[in-house]
């Protein structure tokens, strides 16, 4: 769910959490023995894609934190 008034970067932790839960769910579904191998392969692909997006979002979040830190240090330097 979106948070009213939140910026795109502020919602990233929620998106990461949702994707991790999706990966867990998809991985659990692949263990159902009655499911066809074709479905298991598709679920596995979706789980890998979700995991890939988790890594991308974590990378974006890390870069944003570094950028905010740099802007803060830069503004402190300018004030001095």
Place of tokens 């867990």: 24
**8-57 tens-digit pLDDT:** 788 899 999 999 999 999 999 999 999 999 999 999 999 999 999 999 99
- Give, in degrees to the nearest 5, the angle at Cα 58 between 61 and 51: 155
Burial class (CB in 10 A: 0-12, 13-18, 19+), 78: exposed
Question: Distance between alpha carbon 22 and the CA centroid of its chain, in Å?
Answer: 11
This model's pTM is above 0.75: no
Are the C-beta atoms of residues 74 and 66 closer than 8 Å to each other? no
Decide if pLDDT at 4 tops 80.
no
């Amino acid at each position: 769910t979106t948070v009213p008034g939140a910026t795109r970067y502020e919602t990233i932790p929620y998106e990461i959490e949702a994707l991790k839960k999706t990966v867990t769910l998809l991985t659990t579904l692949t263990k159902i023995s009655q499911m066809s191998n074709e479905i298991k392969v598709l679920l596995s692909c979706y789980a890998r894609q979700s995991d890939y997006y988790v890594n991308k979002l974590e990378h974006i979040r890390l870069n944003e934190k570094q950028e905010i830190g740099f802007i803060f240090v830069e503004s402190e330097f300018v004030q001095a």
